[in-house]
Structure 1
Amino acid sequence: MNRVIRAVAVIGAGLMAVSANAAIITNGSFELGTDPGVFSTENVGSTAITGWTVGGFGVDYIGSYWQASDGVRSIDLSALSSGSLSQTIATVAGTTYTVTFDVSGNPDGGLGNKVLVSSISGSLPNVISYEITPGNSRSNMNWLTYSYDFTAFSNTSVLTFASAEFSPFGPAIDNVSIVTSGGGGGATVPEPSVWAMLLIGFGAVGFAARARKGHQVNA
């Protein structure tokens, strides 16, 4: 029985660790949603990109138009002008999280910097500048990875990406994720699948205890 308890404890600790670092973003690579084909323009209020809400002057939902960073879809944060994309995520107050995402820019607008702002409700905005160089093209977007930390102030937080380009050639994003940071306090509630695994483990402990008790009675 002791061996069973120790095994369940180890499994439970491992599952909790995995759960604490599980991604809490829905559709971070934008693969779910209305098929954009080559690309589609999504206007303010659109929820065609699963999990996300469009703001500002709209965004372009990119399909086969250029090379994605992850999967086959990505976002140009400017439609005809600066747009935005937001998602409300579950957080734990006092816990520190790391936001990671890939950035590029629409190469059709020529060389130069593409600027976007990423923000979390209650935290200072993060300004990211991406430089379009002669090496950028639709077939080679030269994606770069950026990340920053934030500490949640409530049980929900709004993550927003906004273009600072007042043109149709905006900054591009893909492969968004959020995980708990090593510097954070507080606990993350396990996913339902984790609870199921833990319950199975506890059931095994209970079965072993009953079997041992029956053995002692019959001895």
Structure 2
Amino acid sequence: MRNAVLGALALIALPSTANAAAFMNGGFETGPAIGAQGFTTLANGSTAITGWTVTGDSIDYVGSYWQAGEGSRSIDLSGTGPGGIMQTFDTIAGVTYNVRFLLAGNPDGGPTTKVLSTVASGNLPQVNSFNINNTTRSNMGWTPFTYSFVAGASTTTLAFTSGTQTAFGPALDGVSVTAVPEPATWAMMLIGFGAVGASMRRKRVQGRAHA
């Protein structure tokens, strides 16, 4: 039990040693200035959105052009063509993580069904789709989705990619990454089990003393 408690305390300590590479800016609120048109196109390799790198062709960094899923910024994962974004952050090998995000679609043009691929390094991708029927720029119809992965190393790269081969792609916002359960929760559970075990041992010793 002592080893289990020490392991739990180690789990608490691990994330705090790597805060510089913690997952960040899942709402895309920190990024470059947006022009009067309400969005800015960012090309492959751009790191202008804090924490993220643009992949594929390009993306649109969207401000007032349409209703954000949360806050005031969001992403069209197809800029002038299908693109994507990725971020590398600290994880604990063997731990399961849930990625939660909001998905919508650019309502300005086809296809009607927008396709998004989500993948974490070392894991299988997940494909989700969004139908833009009955949506508008002022009513985007943001829908929550969850993607789960098991970290295989001390860092993981999470990538979102447009599967829509036009300039009117899937829209993304509100990304969060959470350990399942969080390391601190595991630690408290193990410490609690240790306390229960110690209490039971004391009762057994007291019972023998009264016998």
Output the TM-score relative to the length of structure 2: 0.74
Residue equivalent to 2:128: 128
Residue equivalent to 2:4: none
Residue equivalent to 1:45: 45
Q: One-letter code of the match for 1:45?
A: G
- Displacement, 1:111? 6.4
| Aligned 8 A contact 1:149 1:181 in 2 | no
How much is the aligned-residue C-alpha RMSD, in angstroms?
A: 2.0
Residue equivalent to 1:9: none
Any residues of structure 2 matched to 1:152-171 within 5 Å, and which? Answer: 152-171=151-170
Q: Secondary structure at the match of 1:176?
A: strand
Whole-angstrom distance in 1 between the partners of 2:111 and 2:47: 31
| Aligned 8 A contact 1:25 1:176 in 2 | no
Q: Secondary structure at the match of 1:128?
A: strand
Q: What 5-or-longer segments of structure 1 have no aligned partner?
A: 1-12, 189-219
* Higher alpha-carbon deviation: 110-119 or 44-53: 110-119
Q: Secondary structure at the match of 1:107?
A: coil
CA deviations 1:22-74 (Å, max 9, x no partner) are 9x421000000112231000000101111100010010000110000110000
Residue equivalent to 1:76: 76
Residue equivalent to 2:59: 59
Any residues of structure 2 matched to 1:67-146 within 5 Å, and which? Answer: 67-110=67-110, 112-134=112-134, 136-146=135-145
Q: Secondary structure at the match of 2:166?
A: coil
| Aligned 8 A contact 2:111 2:164 in 1 | no
| Aligned 8 A contact 1:111 1:133 in 2 | no
Residue equivalent to 1:178: 177
Q: How many pairs were matched up?
A: 166
| Aligned 8 A contact 2:88 2:158 in 1 | yes
Residue equivalent to 1:29: 27
| Aligned 8 A contact 2:122 2:152 in 1 | yes
Aligned-pair identity (%) = 48
| Aligned 8 A contact 1:100 1:146 in 2 | yes
Q: Secondary structure at the match of 1:148?
A: strand
CA deviations 1:64-112 (Å, max 9, x no partner) are 1000011000000001111010000100001000000000000001562
Q: What 5-or-longer segments of structure 2 have no aligned partner?
A: 1-8, 185-211
Residue equivalent to 1:209: none
State the 4+ residue runs in structure 1 displaced beyond 4 angstroms.
none
- Displacement, 1:158? 0.3
Output the TM-score relative to the length of structure 1: 0.72
Q: One-letter code of the match for 2:71?
A: G
